[in-house]
Chain A
Amino acid sequence: MNYRLIINTLGYVLGLEAACMMLPLFTALLYKESSALPILITIFILAIVALLFIRIKKRNNNMYAKEGFVIVTFAWILVSFFGAIPFYISGAVPSFIDCFFETVSGFTTTGASILNDIEAMPKALLLWRSFTHWIGGMGVLVLMMALLPLNNERSMHVMRAEVPGPSVGKLLPKARSTAKMLYTIYLFLSIIEVLFLLLGKMPFFDALVTTFGTAGTGGFSCKSLSIAAYNSAYIDGVVTVFMLLFGVNFNLYFFLVIREVKNAFKSEELICYFSIFAVSTILVTLNILPMVRSMGTAFRQASFQVSSIMTTTGFATADFNLWPTLSKVTLFLLMIVGASGGSTGGGLKVSRVMIVVKSVWRDIFKMIHPRSVKLVHMDGKKVEEETVKHANGTFIIYIFVIFIMTFLISFDGFDFETTLSAVTACIGNIGPGFGMVGPMGNFAAFSWFSKCLLSFTMLFGRLEIFPLIIALSPSIYRKK
């Protein structure tokens, strides 16, 4: 284990976080809020820790898969820890566990909140909370790779551990230019969304916060009522479309950039993703029609909610907690499937579910024709057996983690729907679930123990389980 390299890299990550905090600091100064001081203190602490870490010079660049996992895991834990400090010092959130939960929820783009009264929070902290979505969506280390010229020919290990999806490929030969390209596309889409929201007469601050929430598929809003507070069909529409766009594999945007449009639209995952969206929307629209009594409203609410849950954003325009069971179950299933691989969304990822389904189908086929030779195909190419195995493994562990966490959270004694959906919403990085943690509720009532567990569940979901398990297993730190 190359500890020096790990600590050195973490130093740069923390330095980057300090730089990112300049944005809320600026906001606080702009609005003349008292939260400027806590943010400044945090930046100071971060800078000191970062400098201490960076001073530990690495002796060589030997990075293997395990170093990649450890760097990514600890980067996320540390970033969340330090990101929570402004909430704590400013007194906006009294308990540190709550602050940590809120920040993890931010960075993992979950959007699960423990805040009861959002409007009472200082604006700078609201912005920071949403900005963590934006950074966490594409990845903290990917951002670092894009911005800092830290040459390491093995940075693929880090990228693979952080970028979600069953298989991670580079767009460009250099990891750094790939990271830059991803962030350029990300920034471009975000700016377009801000412009569209401004056109809908949304205040600039709200547009920024909403965009951060959409882009990272996070779901923190600056209103307790979430997007419903604006009560505008136009804004609902814009947010729906952009949520969907951010749930698409970013590699496909790259194909558009290099003008290989055909390649982008041929993607099986993309077709499946939009089919799931269309079918679910129709189903939910028809199902809630008797409740809202107008086709237009039913479609508006259904499409928004399906898009919000499927891309694991978690914005709300309606209290879907009150919807009929069919709609709720549909949404629950969407929570598990999630968005496309290589997007900012969470969940299991459409492509992974497709691989799992195809491989199960192949196994059944093999039982009928025992001598047949069949491979799993995707986009007309064979999927490596290794990838299939990995997808199946992730699927199983994912479900397993849901079971274990649900069991542990059930000690708090809430109803079954609340407990199960809280865990699912956390591991899928969605945010709201059903029951007490529904779109109009929050996670404040859970015990500190459950909040800790749920924080880790969110990290499990964002980093796709394995990095966290590997980094937290003692065997890789043993010298022998």
Chain B
Amino acid sequence: MNIVIVGGGKMGFSLSRQLSAEGHDIVIIDNNQMVLQRSINTQDVTCVYGNGISSTVQIEAGVPYADLLLAVTSSDEINIICCLVAKRLGAKNTIARVRDPEYTQDLIFLRDELGLSMSINPEMAAAREINRILYFPSALKADVFAKGRVEMVEIKIKENSPLVGLSLSSLRSRLKVGVLVCAIQRGKEVIIPRGDFVLEADDKISVTGSSKEVSSFFKVLGMDTEKIRNVMVVGGGRISYYLAKQLLEMGIQVKIIEMNEEKCKNLAELLPKALVIHGDGSDQETLEEENIEKMDALVTLTGLDEENVVISMFGVSKKIPKVITKINHISFGEILEKAGIDCVITPHLISTNQIALYVRAMQNTLGSNIQSMTKIVNNQVEALEFRARENFEGRNVLLKDLKIKKNILVACIIRGGKIFFPNGNDCIKANDNVIVVTTLTGLEELNDIID
């Protein structure tokens, strides 16, 4: 597909990387030569220099023939106008990044009246993701499939865990829980395991199962499943606003620390139930004064990665059960893990996945399309939920007879509301929902898993 991306910043960069790796033709428009240079040196894309709103620039970038235009500059207004121009020029689909909370009510208007295919709000998506993690405090990351029937959680195996030394085939009988380990990260290596794989301490594993089984899995492991009641949020930006709003609605107490007085007032106005504190969140005194050690969770959302890391480290040292760190530039991941920061949120990556999913679904409106997608274990593994259609070539064939590509695991089949983990003697039938875990990228439909 021909995809034009306006704006080559953080978001544009990770989008073009993801989409060009999936085989699409990408053109990036930006008015900063440095940004374009970086993109052209590290990715297989073309770049057009200029203002993305200008129709001449858009024509030069081939918008009239484009299947999709993504407007992800830092300004909401520019993004919306870009999409309007592109729509007029003949782009088939347009997606704009719209972040300002003031526009959130207008999203439906944008879609229905102005013809935008979709608008994405990385901050809101990030807030939702954080919310989900807080709901499962013992997991590093949590996702749901099949409309919430299946859960996939990521945990790190501690040294004294009963999982250490256990092989996957004996896991279910030994622990008496119906869950499946579908991906493992050991050091730098990512493994899609087989039954004889033996777990070790410090492995990060992704586990899938029904909500009930997953919570009993946590119980068996002795991980406390106590619900979170109060959360401290450092930094009062957009994510904090969305997050606080969601948490307050769920009856969780929120304490927001923000340095800027204007922002504090604004937050206090929008979120009357929240406790907004005007102070420096990177100041130990302030944090201790606000009883940081009594918190169930700490979320660091300031604009500076470094600050977030330091505050999170402080939180870890104070033994806060759950610490979530926002990091925009994902580098030095290993060092962070050693410092105890293992639950990291990167807003633009979440939205990139959202768009990648949309693009794949666009390409495949008829086939057995993707229902949902998520990236697990350090973004190196994809977990996809497909719906098997009549055209799936391997339907009613026993899985052991099916030639499935390497590094693909059929993790779970949902048939008529029932969830089961397939073995070689099971088969996929039409209208099943199938969860597939893989290190490959770019799977678009269920037929792609067959070699």
User: Which residues of A approach B to under 8 Å, CB–CB?
Assistant: 65, 151-157, 169-170, 172-177, 384
Contact = CB atoms under 8 A, between A and B. Distances in A.
Given A65-B41, A173-B26, A384-B33, A153 B20 contact: yes
Interface in B20-60: 20-21, 25-27, 33, 40-46
Contacts of B33: 384
B41 A173 contact: no
B41 A174 contact: no
B41 A154 contact: yes
Contacts of B44: 151-156, 173-176
Interface in B38-92: 40-46
Contact of A154 (B2, B25, B27, B42): B42
B186 interface: no
Contacts of A176: 44
Interface in B232-254: none
22 contacts: A65-B41, A151-B44, A153-B21, A153-B42, A153-B44, A154-B41, A154-B44, A156-B40, A156-B41, A156-B44, A169-B46, A170-B46, A172-B25, A173-B2, A173-B27, A173-B45, A173-B46, A174-B20, A174-B44, A175-B44, A176-B44, A384-B33
A199 B128 CA distance: 72
B46 A154 contact: no
Contact of A157 (B2, B25, B41): B41
Nearest to B17: A153
A377 B383 CA distance: 51
Interface residues of B, number: 15
A177 B44 CA distance: 11
Nearest to B24: A173
Contacts of B21: 153
Given A153-B42, A173-B44, A173-B45, 4 more contacts: A153-B20, A153-B44, A154-B43, A154-B44
Nearest to B25: A173
B330 to A, nearest CB: 16
Contacts of A170: 46
Interface of A is mostly: loop
A176 B41 CA distance: 15
Contacts of B41: 65, 154, 156-157
Contacts of B45: 153, 173
A174 B41 CA distance: 13
A153 B40 CA distance: 9
Given A153-B17, A153-B20, A172 B46 contact: yes
Nearest to B20: A153
Contacts of A153: 17, 20-21, 42-45
Q: What are the nearest 5 A-B pairs in CB distance?
A: A173-B25, A153-B44, A153-B43, A173-B46, A170-B46
A89 B81 CA distance: 68
Contact of B25 (A155, A156, A169, A177): A177
B25 A174 contact: yes
B26 to A, nearest CB: 5
Nearest to B2: A173
A415 to B, nearest CB: 48
B58 to A, nearest CB: 15
A170 B48 CA distance: 11
A156 B43 CA distance: 8
A60 to B, nearest CB: 11
A421 B44 CA distance: 41
A151, A157, A174, A384 pick with most chain B CB within 10 angstroms: A174
A151 B20 CA distance: 11
B60 to A, nearest CB: 10
Interface in B311-364: none
Contacts of A175: 44
Contacts of A152: 44
Contacts of B26: 173
Contacts of B25: 172-174, 177
A152 B33 CA distance: 23
Nearest to B26: A173
A175 B43 CA distance: 10
Contacts of B2: 173
Nearest to B21: A153
Contacts of B20: 153, 173-174
Most buried by B among A155, A172, A173: A173
Contacts of A177: 25
Nearest to B43: A153
A156 B20 CA distance: 14
A267 to B, nearest CB: 16
Nearest to A384: B33
A421 B43 CA distance: 42
A172 B62 CA distance: 10
A48 to B, nearest CB: 28
Interface string B5-19: 000000000000100
A169 B46 CA distance: 8
A176 B45 CA distance: 11
B35 to A, nearest CB: 14
Interface in B378-430: none
A384 B37 CA distance: 12
Give the interface centre of B2, B17, B44, B46 by most chain A CB atoms within 10 Å: B44
A232 B42 CA distance: 52
Contacts of A174: 20, 25, 44
Contacts of B43: 153-154
A177 B25 CA distance: 10
Nearest to A154: B42
Contacts of A156: 40-41, 44
A157 B43 CA distance: 10
A396 to B, nearest CB: 24
A172 B43 CA distance: 13
Nearest to A171: B46
Interface in B121-159: none
Contacts of A169: 46
A175 B45 CA distance: 8
B337 to A, nearest CB: 20
A152 B17 CA distance: 12
Contacts of A157: 41
Interface string B193-233: 00000000000000000000000000000000000000000
A176 B20 CA distance: 12
A170 B26 CA distance: 12
A270 B241 CA distance: 58
A287 to B, nearest CB: 45
B356 to A, nearest CB: 16
A29 B17 CA distance: 49
A152 B42 CA distance: 9
A155 to B, nearest CB: 7
Nearest to A64: B41
Contacts of A155: 44
A170 B17 CA distance: 17
A175 B23 CA distance: 12
B440 to A, nearest CB: 13
Residue from A151, A156, A157, A176 with most neighbouring chain B CB atoms (10 Å):
A156
Contacts of B46: 169-170, 172-173
Contacts of B42: 153-154
A170 B28 CA distance: 13
A107 to B, nearest CB: 26
